[in-house]
Amino acid sequence: MNLHNWIAHNTEIKLKTLSLAYSSCPNDTYIFHAMVHGLINPTDISFNTSIADVETLNQRAAKGTYDITKLSFAAMGSLGEQYRILRNGAALGRGCGPLVITMPGYSIHSRHKIKVAVPGLGTTACLLFRFYFEERFPGLVPNLISMPFEKIMPAVTTGKADVGVIIHEGRFVYEQMGFELIQDLGQWWETHTGLPIPLGCIAVKKEIGRETTKQLESMIRQSISHAKKFPTAGAAYIRHHAQELEDNVIQEHIGLYVNDFSMDLGAEGENAVLTFFKKARQAGILPPGPDSWFLN
């Protein structure tokens, strides 16, 4: 072993650089701001950070692109052999599910080949819609059209889609934009299961060791705590990535999607996740999962 390699292998503290990806949505940039900007307790981990929409992250995770990544729970349900779920940073809760909207006067019963715009075929929103639609309209087969979430309402307005499944800030503005609500999918889920709706999670590759994984969970908790203690610290970063959202919408978004489950899923959160996966397997949508989705 040459001198350079000897030094690298015998340095007491080795810096680990991990690839980290999350979405541009305010809840994600709020959660990770302090962590990726060195504002929490220093560790031997640094990050190469990428930001993309969740459906893109879902697709990249299938290729193992990132060490740590935001995922829809629906996508995570097919990746249990490669990734495990961190107990922190998740989007999960009550009153925060996707909404099914349409233009005034439209009736789903009026067509047998309804065109439905969804924010990605691998998203939790799409999977929830499939659960709901099969129960509510047996025999009707929807034509699911995948598109970026910000294009869904325009697609419904122009008639490219009959119905849209909207997520994120769409729930705060759909009424003022003239749409009608067909179904709150989160409310539908809560009524059927009594559990909060699992939307998105932070996943880590299984090849990353136990100690580092626990360290990552601690860092996410610290980062959320920092954001709560210093609410203006990440404001510019969040606004930069929030496209053209109004400040009040950004705050509503963070208030809805960053909650106690984001700090720690806890027993109720884990039960909600496992129930979601079980229902999807029973419907033949997801494959069997691993013995454990979490670090034990």
* All domains of the chain in start order, with CATH: 3-94+196-282 (3.40.190.10), 99-193 (3.40.190.10)
Tell me the whole-structure pTM to 2 decimals: 0.86
| CA dihedral over 50, 56, 57, 59, signed as positive or negative | negative
Angstrom distances, CA of residue 239 to CA of 34, 243, 245, 246: 15, 7, 8, 9
- State the Cα–Cα distance between residues 38 and 108, nearest whole angstrom: 50
pLDDT tens-digit readout, 265-295: 999 999 999 999 999 999 888 999 898 999 9
pLDDT for residue 4 is more than 50: no
At 112, the pLDDT band (50, 70, 90 cuts) reads low
Q: DSSP code of 196? A: P
**What average pLDDT does range 83-99 have in this prediction?**
94
pLDDT of 7 reads 39
Phi, psi of 124 (to 5 degrees): -60, -35
The single-letter code of the amino acid at 59 is Q
User: What digits encode the pLDDT tens for the residues 128-178?
Assistant: 999 999 888 887 889 999 998 889 999 999 999 999 999 877 788 888 889
Q: What b/e string do you get for 3-42 counting C-beta neighbours within 10 Å, with b at 16 or more? A: eeeeeeeeeeeeeeebebbbbbbbbbbbbbbbbbeeebee
Helix and strand tally (H, E) in the chain? 13, 11
Residue 79 pLDDT:
96
| Lookup: tokens for 19 | 């690839």
Catalytic, 112? Answer: no
Please tell me the distance from the alpha carbon of residue 159 to that of residue 122, in angstroms, as a whole number: 23
Q: Which of 4, 9, 168, 226 is catalytic?
A: 168
